[in-house]
A = this chain, B = another copy of it.
Amino acid sequence: MTVLTTAEQLEARLRQIGRERYHSNHPFHKLLHNGKLNRGQIQAWALNRYYYQSRIPMKDAALMSRISDPALRREWSQRVIDHDGTREGQGGIARWLFMCIDLGLDRDYVMSEEGILAGTKFAVDAYVRFVHERTLSEAIASSLTELFAPSIIGERLAGMLANYDFISRETLSYFDARLTQAPRDAAFALDYVKTHARTPEERKAVADALIFKCDVLWSQLDALHFAYVAPGNIPPGAFTPKDPR
């Protein structure tokens, strides 16, 4: 591994990690975007990803709980507001829940968190824990998958709208907001780690934090793919689609 002696080398390394490890490369996303899944499989994706969405503001609050600078905390708090909204029914989590219901899932079932794959919970909980335990630069770096989000969201919106007659632009409204939020958040976090990781060791820790986060996303799709793409592999207790149409 090359020693990262400058902030520009760090940025290049982070972008390389995204090209190699971001979950846009996962076979499940190719199936999802290319119309190869049925409604029950897409329900399983939305349900499991709901657990991830639900933990993101908890992760961001954990990060804020470790920031002593009011300006940085204020900046970061926008992420919590984006997910939680400023009143009932608004914000990213509400939009994700709307998508789940629009796909035919029961609201109370989704919110109960029953039926979520253990693999999803272990990966997401590991992410929240990481942000509690690591340095501030590593915790902020773990959000940098947002750098690569706009391209996958664009591909997802086009692919899912074209390929599934039960999905409308409204179903996918969560992603519209993310198209502007993600680049703003990623630019801030990238600038932060480029400025604050000052030694090769700190830059390596930042790069490793992004690898960890890519693993968190990838591992969720591994669990989803194994359970729902081929028949017979749904773990005991996990969501079982009623509606495979």
Interface residues of A (CB under 8 A from B): 20-21, 25, 27, 117-119, 121-123, 125-126, 129, 211, 214-216, 218-219, 222-223, 225-227, 232-233, 235-237
Contacts and interface: CB of A to CB of B under 8 A. Distances in A.
A119 B223 contact: yes
A21 B234 CA distance: 12
A215 B235 CA distance: 8
B227 A222 contact: yes
Contact of A21 (B25, B216, B236): B236
Given A21-B237, A122-B123, A222 B223 contact: yes
A128 to B, nearest CB: 11
B222 A235 contact: yes
12 contacts: A21-B237, A117-B219, A118-B215, A118-B218, A119-B122, A119-B123, A121-B126, A218-B235, A219-B235, A222-B226, A222-B227, A222-B233
A95 B218 CA distance: 32
A117 B218 CA distance: 11
A88 B79 CA distance: 50
Contacts of A21: 236-237
Given A21-B237, A119-B222, 11 more contacts: A27-B232, A118-B215, A118-B218, A119-B123, A122-B216, A125-B129, A214-B236, A219-B223, A222-B233, A223-B226, A226-B226
A219 B20 contact: no
Nearest to A127: B122
Residue among A27, A222, A225 with the most chain B CB within 10 A?
A222
